[in-house]
Each structure stands twice: as structure tokens, then as C-alpha cells.
Amino acid sequence: MTVITRHETMRGAIPRRPDGEGSVQVALDPALQIEGAKVFAVYGKGGIGKSTTSSNLSAAFSHLGKRVLQIGCDPKHDSTFTLTKKLIPTVIDILETVNFHSEELRPEDFIFEGYNGVMCVEAGGPPAGTGCGGYVVGQTVKLLKEHHLLEETDVVIFDVLGDVVCGGFAAPLQHAERAVIVAANDFDSIFAMNRIVQAIAAKSKNYDVRLGGVIVNRSAGTDQIDKFNAATGLKSLAHFPDLDVIRRSRLKKSTLFEMEESPALLAVQESYMRLAESLWAGTEALPTVPMRDRDIFDLLGFD
């Protein structure tokens, strides 16, 4: 199958190769290209804290004075839970109420203001076994473009479901400038991270996305991730330990910037501010080379 990239579609050039061997990817409609904002896609193993990381990063960007939009791309639709203090309706659910006639929707039907002015959208997902997450992401961006909601946005953060095993949930990589991976200092997280590195490498053939680095989360140490980084060319952007205050912030429906101050909390807040500053300034594109599955086992000491 041949895939036409957004650049080639606009130029009318000959189609290039697909994203990867056996790829059945659909090219990005150039009309859905996000322009003007810095766009980040956050990936990582399921349950590793991507939503907590994304929401606190959005909050940090807002404290830098940036206009932030966070888009949750998980059917669980809890990405923006700590920003809005509730589970907001998903784009797919709202579209269904108007029989998918998007022209009948108003911005306030699907976009909600959260902590410190962060704008929040939950794309949602199709019922299990019935559709593709890529369609959902596309419809969400289409709605935002139709209502001119991206024109006054400085930062867009896609918080994406789990590790990448399907083209649908790799769709945010078509929009992003940088992809960042959230991982713990353990084998399962690193194995998933390697799969994500493979997906980003495939998408970077035809799109602008490049790997920005790894955010080490819920980990006292970084030795295993340091080994993987050294072997692949990846770099760590930030390190957040497994602190009770982070766990409690989720239970209290709060970002870390709203919790009662303590030395540990202030240190974490400062780390998020440094991370936001470095991403805004622009991280280098990492030419990371993914590992073979067997090599990861060997690297991390398994027989």
C-alpha cells in the first residue's frame, strides 16, 4: 500500500513509501495540519502515569504564560481529570448525539476550561472492537480547526493510550513536533518504550515528528533506563520519583500545583517547570535506534 505524505499531497508529488513494512496507514489530510502551536505527543506503557504527567506538564506550561490545549486520546477519557475536576464528555460521545453532524456543535459542547486556563478535550474512542483510534483523533482535530480553536493556542499536548501497537493510536504522531515517552525504571516499561521508539522512527519517515526524550516516572533510580538510553541514543528529560504526594494529587482531583506545599512537592513542581521550559525552548531531535527484543533481555540482565 502506498501512502501520500501531507507535504507530497500539497505539492502533487509522487507518493513515497509507507510508514513501515506492511503499513496500512492513512495519510494525514493537509487540511488537518496543526499550525502555529508547539505540539507534543506523550506515550508510554499503560498505567505508567502519562495522564498525571501530561496534566502537570500542561499546568507548568500555563504557569509560563502559554495558552495550552490538552487532548486526551484514551477511551477511558480521564486524561484531563485533575485539570477539570471531573470526567468531561468525549468528542465521540458528543458527535453521536448529533448523528455525527459536526456543524451542529458549539465549542462549549466538547472543550472545557481547566486549571489555570488550560483548555481540555477528551477525544474518547470507538466501542471495543468496532473502530479505529486514528479516526477519533482526526475528528477531534477537525472539530478544533473548524471552530478556530487552534489559532490562539501555544502548546498542544496529546496524551495517548498505552504503548503503540496500532496505527490508530499512532495518529497523534502525524501532528506532533516532538514525542516524549513516560517510562519507569523497569523492564516492562522499557520494553514498551522500545516499541514506541520503533513507531516514532516509522512516522518520522513521512512526518515532522521526532523523538524528544524520556520522562522517568515513579522510580527511585534510573539505572535500567540509563542502560537503554546509552544503547539507543535516547536521553532523559526529567525524573519524577514515586512520591505519595503525586498519588494523592490524583485522588484529590488536583494538579501538583494545587496541593499543600511541602519541600518534596516544591521540588517536583520545579522539575515540571524546568521540563516545560526545556520543551518550549526546543529539545534536540534524537536519532534513536530501537533495539531487537532479544537484545533488551540481554541488556537488562535476563537469561
For residue range 89-129, list pLDDT tens digits in order: 999 899 889 998 888 999 999 999 999 999 999 998 766 77
**Predicted local distance difference test score (pLDDT) of residue 9:** 36
Catalytic one among 76, 142, 205, 227? Answer: 76
Active site residue 76: yes
Per annotation, catalytic residue among 45, 66, 159, 203: 45
Counting Cβ atoms within 10 Å, is residue 149 exposed (0-12), middle (13-18) or buried (19+)?
A: middle
Q: What are phi and psi of 160, to 5 degrees?
A: -110, 145
Q: Is 159 a residue of the active site? A: no
Kindly name the residue from 50, 74, 203, 208 that is annotated as catalytic: 50
Confidence of residue 2 (pLDDT cuts 50, 70, 90): very low
Catalytic residue among 19, 159, 163, 208: 163
Is residue 237 within 8 Å of 215, Cβ to Cβ?
yes
Rounded CA-CA distance 60/215 in Å is 15
Please name the amino acid found at residue 41: A
Give yes or no: 252 in active site.
no
Tell me the whole-structure pTM to 2 decimals.
0.88
Give the contacts of 52 (CB within 8 A, at least 6 positions apart). 82, 217, 246, 249, 250
DSSP 8-state symbol, 111: -
- Asked whether 59 and 272 are in contact (CB, 8 A), the reply is yes
Give the separation between CA 296 and CA 228, rounded to whole angstroms. 8
Cell readout for 207 is: 512526518
* Cβ 137 vs Cβ 73: under 8 Å: yes
Residue type, 37: A
Residues 260-276 have pLDDT tens digits of: 999 999 999 999 999 99
State pLDDT tens for residues 130-184.
666 667 888 888 888 888 888 889 999 999 987 665 666 678 888 899 999 999 9
Q: Tell me: pLDDT of 233 over 70.
A: yes
Radius of gyration of the chain (CA): 19
